[in-house]
Amino acid sequence: MNVDERITEVPGIGKKSAAELASIGIHTLMDMVLYPPRSYDDRREERFLSDATPDNPSIACRITVISHSQFPSKRSGMTLKATCIDDEGRKLELLCFNRPFMKDMLKLGSSWYITSPAIERSRNGIYSTASFELKRSKEEAGIGKILPVYPLTGSITEKMLRNASAYAISALSPFPDELPFEMYQRLSLLHHNDAYRLIHYPENDSDIINARRTLAFTELLLMELAILRGKGSRKKKQGAESKAEAELVSSLPFSLTQDQVSAAAEIRADLDSGTPMNRLLQGDVGSGKTLVAWIAALHEIQKGNQVAFMAPTELLARQHAEGAAELLSPLGIRIAFLTGNVKGQSRKLLLESLRKGITDLVVGTHALFSEDVSFNRLKLVIIDEQHRFGVQQREALKNKGIDASILSMTATPIPRTLALTLFADLDVSTLQTMPSGRIPVKTYLVSDKKRDDMYQSIAVEFQRGHQAYFVYPRIDDEGESDLRDVTHMHEELKSRYPGVPSALIHSKLPEEEKIRILHDFRAKKIMYLTATSVVEVGIDIPDATCMVIEHADIFGLAALHQLRGRVGRSILPSYCFLVFSSNLSAEAKARLSVMKETNDGFRIAEKDLEIRGPGEMAGDRQSGFLRLRFASLTSDLDLIEQARIEAERIAREDPGLLSIENAHLRIALKEQC
Ligand code: ADP
Ligand code: MG
């Protein structure tokens, strides 16, 4: 039978059920085969009523009818109550609402195999159910087997899906191999004919593991092949470093890290390839992404094009604009700064110079894609902290250029395997190594009671001329929460550090105020900031060496890592104090110990993924063909790696997938797109 055969082929599935099945993606018999069980009902061992628990109220066991009684049903008709016992002697009442005629079937002394999804146990120890099926033989009741348990929808029942999967498997088998023949043995995979059968009807636990592994691998291999194919279409040409770029680099007080050099080269090649670039530059906090962005900007500007650089907050945009002015203005680059707060005449002039192409580089916030902003020849859009923007915002800015390239930067590193997968349509450059001379931030977990020691050691840092951040989760103490807030703590800190200049900073302050404070902090007129997480992203103050995070247990790992990244940005030794309260949840404990254990953002992201699952990270970045049925992006990292290696080999040896053994892959790949 054809794999496109409709699901209505299955006896008992009519139009109504077919419509409900369509809503969960099951249109054809093959869709049913590809619908994975969410778990299994293991009926291999003989069970008794006593095995039914509130958590797992389903049961399949043998019972014998011992008595009948009848009483009127609530609405109309009569209800039959048939009392039975199982082989352990426990009692079960079968309630047959409006079906008194069941009495003829349930003869006294007759034995049945009952299956029920919902058995209840009353206080007197008697079990009862109104939802059950009775079979004459063990086999019919599925006893001795492992049965699939599918996710359900609408009025679709487990029984219907089991019927449908059994029917589909027998109608469509034998299933042909989908992978090159040699791969099955080499990678210890099951042939697809077995894998499809066993994923639904396994005979033992290892069948489940092997079938799932085979099907997940197949899916991942196709995905990786699709990724490689997408990349293959881009021409690679090495863009040469220009004189101005060399000048920029030589003006720095340090030399680029090897990763910065390679990332810049990759970007240059993309920008000169003739096809718009779509590249993610990922690197841990402090790895020096911004500089790579300026090199990219310079490269594009020298071709006579415009560049837009977007940051998620005004503070950060301002800092970047100042950085750009320092590095790029001496090279003759014309820079503008645009946020929502630039208004009136100055906005008008600025917009005009953008439109006419007089400005080469504009740095700003999401105000860059306001409707009144237009460009002359925008060819490169750089997005800092890209995870902070929605897809629409990124697209809107990109659409202001014609064939504009995109360089997205993120300090929320994603494990490499996952990055290549989630950002399937992106190229990725990674800054793995930190600039030399950096000393890893030393992290202390400080219990609430030990805070005095912490204040002491920070006082010593102040004496050395180093600066600090104190971060609290709240602005003031509205509401009944007992969390510390910046407003109160600022007063407390002032009395603890008399004579040390400080400032309070949070999101409710006017923008100019925040900018002034940060400016003074950079100039060391201020020695510490009492702050909310407004200081989380991007802020770069080299002499700040202490980061105190209060109520660290309520922050997520990504935020903690970002906050800690505000210190350790120079050759000075730095410290991070995570202050926690006494009753930590297990998850909070796990997060804090990860922070203590490592400074490596990649490890932290991996741990975060473990603790949280990938949903949030994947977010809107899921690309079209990432509808994985069997594979999991969280737990199958090894399998993803293996699939990529195989995909690369196949793409090298048979790029068009023209050989006979790759025919199936070729067809499957065509269908996906
Ligand atoms: P992030 O990757 O978090 O955006 P930044 O680009 O803000 O990091 O860089 C952090 C700091 O490191 C900045 O002060 C920057 O000037 C400095 N820096 C960048 N590259 C190097 C390098 N190769 N050597 C030393 N310092 C560097
Ligand atoms: Mg940055």
Ligand 2 centroid to residue 301 C-alpha, Å: 21
Burial, 652: exposed, middle or buried (Cβ in 10 Å; 0-12, 13-18, 19+)? exposed
Higher per-residue confidence, 568 vs 626: 568
Name 80's bridge partners: 70, 96
Cα–Cα distance measured from residue 19 to residue 27, given in angstroms and rounded to the nearest whole number: 9
Asked whether residue 607 is assigned to any structural domain, the reply reads no
Strand order in the sheet with 78-86: 120-121, 127-129, 91-96, 78-86, 59-72, 111-116, 133-135
Residue located nearest, by CA, to atom 15 of ligand 1: 288
- Our answer on whether the CB atom of 411 is closer than 6 Å to any ligand 1 atom is yes
Going by their DSSP bridges, the two strands 361-364 and 335-338 should be labelled as parallel
**534: closest CA among 508, 503, 570?**
508
Residue located nearest, by CA, to atom 26 of ligand 1: 435
Atom of ligand 1 nearest to the CA of 285: 3
For residue 399, name the pLDDT band (cuts at 50, 70, 90). Answer: confident
Atom of ligand 1 nearest to the CA of 293: 6
Cα–Cα distance measured from residue 64 to residue 35, given in angstroms and rounded to the nearest whole number: 36
Q: Which residues contact 329 (CB under 8 A, 6 or more apart)?
A: 335
What pTM did the predictor assign? 0.63
Both structure tokens of 293 = 């962005």
Cα–Cα distance measured from residue 155 to residue 19, given in angstroms and rounded to the nearest whole number: 11
349 with 320, same domain: the answer is: yes
453 with 550, same domain: the answer is: yes
Which ligand is located closest to the Cα atom of residue 283?
1
Asked whether residue 627 is assigned to any structural domain, the reply reads no
Average pLDDT over residues 109-121: 91
- For residues 95 and 125, the answer to whether their CB atoms sit within 8 Å is no
User: What φ, ψ does residue 579 adopt, rounded to 5°?
Assistant: -95, 130
Residue located nearest, by CA, to atom 5 of ligand 1: 288
Q: Domain boundary at 392, 408, 431, which?
A: 431
Determine how many CB atoms are found less than 10 A away from the CB of residue 225. Answer: 24
356 with 218, same domain: the answer is: no
Going by their DSSP bridges, the two strands 127-129 and 91-96 should be labelled as parallel
Atom of ligand 1 nearest to the CA of 291: 6
Tell me the per-residue pLDDT of 274-304, one tens digit each, with 9 for 90 and over: 888 988 898 888 889 999 999 999 999 999 9
Average pLDDT over residues 352-362: 96
Which ligand is located closest to the Cα atom of residue 538?
2
- Our answer on whether the CB atom of 410 is closer than 6 Å to any ligand 1 atom is no
498 with 422, same domain: the answer is: no
Which ligand is located closest to the Cα atom of residue 541?
1
Ligand 2 centroid to residue 407 C-alpha, Å: 13
Cα–Cα distance measured from residue 606 to residue 553, given in angstroms and rounded to the nearest whole number: 19
247 with 375, same domain: the answer is: yes
User: What φ, ψ does residue 112 adopt, rounded to 5°?
Assistant: -140, 160
Asked whether residue 630 is assigned to any structural domain, the reply reads no
- Our answer on whether the CB atom of 290 is closer than 6 Å to any ligand 1 atom is yes
Least-confidence region, from 13-17, 63-67, 236-240: 236-240
Which ligand is located closest to the Cα atom of residue 569?
1
Which ligand is located closest to the Cα atom of residue 326?
1
371 with 391, same domain: the answer is: yes
- The residue to mutate among 250, 260, 287, 410, having the most atoms of ligand 1 within 8 angstroms of its beta carbon, is 287
Ligand 2 centroid to residue 320 C-alpha, Å: 9
For residue 432, name the pLDDT band (cuts at 50, 70, 90). Answer: confident
Asked whether residue 523 is assigned to any structural domain, the reply reads yes
Tell me the per-residue pLDDT of 523-549, one tens digit each, with 9 for 90 and over: 999 999 999 887 877 788 999 999 999
pLDDT at 390: 65
Tell me the per-residue pLDDT of 69-90, one tens digit each, with 9 for 90 and over: 998 877 768 889 999 999 999 9
- Which among 225-229, 237-241, 370-374, 452-456 has the top mean pLDDT? 452-456
How many structural domains comprise the chain? Answer: 5
Q: Which domain holds residue 62?
A: 45-144
Residue located nearest, by CA, to atom 20 of ligand 1: 288
Tell me the per-residue pLDDT of 631-670, one tens digit each, with 9 for 90 and over: 876 678 789 889 989 998 998 898 888 888 898 888 887 7
- Our answer on whether the CB atom of 319 is closer than 6 Å to any ligand 1 atom is no
Cα–Cα distance measured from residue 488 to residue 492, given in angstroms and rounded to the nearest whole number: 7
Tell me the per-residue pLDDT of 153-205, one tens digit each, with 9 for 90 and over: 888 998 899 999 999 999 999 999 999 999 999 999 999 999 999 999 999 99
Tell me the per-residue pLDDT of 594-611, one tens digit each, with 9 for 90 and over: 999 998 887 787 777 666
- For residues 400 and 373, the answer to whether their CB atoms sit within 8 Å is yes
Asked whether residue 613 is assigned to any structural domain, the reply reads no
Asked whether residue 436 is assigned to any structural domain, the reply reads no
69 with 123, same domain: the answer is: yes
Both structure tokens of 241 = 């470093």
- Our answer on whether the CB atom of 435 is closer than 6 Å to any ligand 1 atom is yes
306 with 401, same domain: the answer is: yes
180 with 287, same domain: the answer is: no
417 with 524, same domain: the answer is: no
End-to-end CA distance of the chain: give it in Å, rounded: 25
Specify the residue for token string 């969960």.
24
Asked whether residue 205 is assigned to any structural domain, the reply reads yes
The CATH number covering residue 291 comes to: 3.40.50.300
- For residues 85 and 64, the answer to whether their CB atoms sit within 8 Å is yes
Residue located nearest, by CA, to atom 17 of ligand 1: 288
Strand order in the sheet with 575-580: 442-447, 575-580, 544-549, 467-471, 528-531, 502-505
- The residue to mutate among 249, 262, 540, 602, having the most atoms of ligand 1 within 8 angstroms of its beta carbon, is 540
In a 13 Å sphere around the CA of 306, the CA atoms on its Cβ side amount to: 25
Asked whether residue 629 is assigned to any structural domain, the reply reads no
Least-confidence region, from 130-134, 159-163, 558-562: 558-562
Residue located nearest, by CA, to atom 18 of ligand 1: 288
Tell me the per-residue pLDDT of 404-414, one tens digit each, with 9 for 90 and over: 999 989 876 55
527 with 514, same domain: the answer is: yes
- For residues 578 and 443, the answer to whether their CB atoms sit within 8 Å is yes
229 with 299, same domain: the answer is: no
The CATH number covering residue 7 comes to: 1.10.150
Q: Domain boundary at 568, 598, 628, which?
A: 598
**311: closest CA among 295, 290, 288?**
290
Atom of ligand 1 nearest to the CA of 569: 11
Ligand 1 centroid to residue 387 C-alpha, Å: 20
